[in-house]
Amino acid sequence: MSNRDLTRLTAAEARTGLHAGDFTSVELTQAHLDRIAAVDGDVHAYLHVMRDVALTQAEAADARIASGTADVLTGVPIALKDILVTTDAPTTAASKILDGYVSPYDGTVVSRLRERGAVFLGKTNTDEFAMGSSTENSAFGPTFNPWDLTRVPGGSSGGSAASVAAREAVISLGSDTGGSIRQPAGFCGVVGLKPTYGRVSRYGLIAFASSLDQIGPFSRTVEDAAIMLNAIAGHDPMDSTSVSEPPPDFRAALRTDLTGVRVGIAREYTVSGMEAGVTSSVSAAIAQLEALGAELVDVSLPHTEYALATYYITAPAEASANLSRFDGVKYGLRVDAPSLQDTYRQTRGDGFGSEVKRRIMLGTYALSSGYYDAYYVKAQKVRTLIKQDFDEAFKRVDVIAGPTSPTVAFGVGSRTDDPYQMYLADIFTISANMAGIPGIALPCGFSEGLPVSLQLLGKAFDEQTLLGVAHAYERAAGWFAHVANL
């Protein structure tokens, strides 16, 4: 196979080819490194390319495959969002305050992928500390959408989404705090899975909002997402929020028929300002689900209108606490000043970008004396109501279907001066994080030549049903076969 063909493979196809001896992991890895060299100057999906590490891992993977002890992901080239700590590459969270930082330990998901013999191509760009919806908040420059380089890839995991869409990685990992996997997956025309909170260990993930963050995959197909979830899910004693029950085989849950499946259609997931092309593509996708045998059921999520406000109290409050550790004392940037207080102030002033500072200030205000009850406590009560909405809806349905975003990818720079319009890009994704439930975004058409995405939400710890429905739709609709012409 040519290098160009090798970069078009899914993880499942790569595994088949590797084990059949059609090509080696070194050849597959080199093809992706060559692809990165050819296009990443335009896309800027990567902050750090781990070329030597990747080729060494690929050689070890080939030996493992030859010995007959390989895993499904052995020898498969993978990209990692640059908020997952690694011992053999910098982890910066796309922030000046961590420029050059190398962790003394691997995150749990990184360790699990190493054990399976996966190949690490590099660390991908992100909004600084995962705070953003467009990957324009990176201290090291924005990432661009492979479908149209004048558009954003979404955020905060825009680099991970773009790396898969641009064929610079077979599969990648990102994190989702309010939509940061699903929204960029939608903008870049790939699959993005946010697992249930607690399904995947967060140990080694640089925290933004600890009660919301969850690690998950980007891939070209739902099957690949299931393969990756099989690899990274499961209890971790290093993360007190990870669930103790053994995860099922997610790949085994994939199906092509939806007879007996009840799909909820929430009236709240149609809002003013939705683009006509998004509405028509999502409506056609829902009709396809019905044609596959699913029963459509109207449901209501009445507190959805409060989700955005609730999120932008909860997440900044947690960020305010989590980011207090970055003070120039133990690691990262240090700006020396006459007093310790001035050292803190100047280190954080120089090290953090404007969006991170905005959210720290919002969160500190919400947690401050006299405002804690009025804002943070009230937000937690509304969060409970949002979760109860989903609990009630899932008594009647198996999954809920709707758009991932109200628009296709917007222009680079078009929303940077209007934070509220930027935040609205996540209006359909935030609720799942507030409720802790799983969600998946997958291609469902095009509008103005740009990908449109269907979002499916599932019951907590029922990724099997979610992946099964998504796979059935994907195989019937065929949008996964469309590739960015970069």
On whether the CB atoms of residues 451 and 187 are closer than 8 A, the answer is yes
Exactly one of 25, 81, 111, 405 is catalytic; name it: 81
In this predicted model, what pLDDT tens digit does every residue of 329-375 receive, in sequence order?
Answer: 988 999 999 999 999 999 999 999 999 999 999 999 999 988 999 99
Cα-to-chain-centroid distance, residue 20: 31
Residue 417 has pLDDT above 70, yes or no: yes
CATH number of 3-261+398-481: 3.90.1300.10
Find the catalytic residue in 95, 133, 156, 201.
Answer: 156
Residue 4 pLDDT greater than 90, yes or no: no
Task: Tell me 266's DSSP state.
Answer: E
Does 271 score more than 90 pLDDT? no
| Cα(89)–Cα(48) distance, integer angstroms | 7
Cα 265 versus chain centre, distance: 24
Copy the structure tokens of residue 449: 């030549």
The answer to whether the CB of 336 falls within 8 A of the CB of 358 is: no
Sign of CA dihedral 32, 77, 109, 12: positive
Helix (H, G, I), strand (E, B) or coil at 51: helix
Q: How many CB atoms lie within 10 A of CB 459?
A: 20
Task: pLDDT band for 444, please (50, 70, 90 cuts).
Answer: very high
81 is catalytic: yes
Tens of pLDDT, residue by residue over 210-241, are 999 999 999 999 999 999 999 999 999 999 99
CA distances from 133 to 62, 126, 148, 302, 377 (A): 38, 9, 17, 25, 26
Is 175 one of the catalytic residues?
no
Q: Indicate which residue of 163, 180, 201, 431 is catalytic.
A: 180
Two tokens, residue 85: 């700590």
Strands 399-403 and 450-458, bridge-based pairing: antiparallel
pLDDT of residue 423: 85
Q: By the 8 A CB rule, do 142 and 134 touch?
A: yes
Neighbours of 398 (CB within 10 A): 22
Least confident residue range of 2-6, 61-65, 84-88, 371-375: 2-6
Paired strand residues for 399: 263, 458
Burial category of 168 from C-beta neighbours within 10 Å (exposed 0-12, middle 13-18, buried 19 and up): buried
pLDDT the model gives residue 199 = 98
The answer to whether the pTM exceeds 0.75 is yes
Nearest to 95 by CA among 141, 162, 157: 141
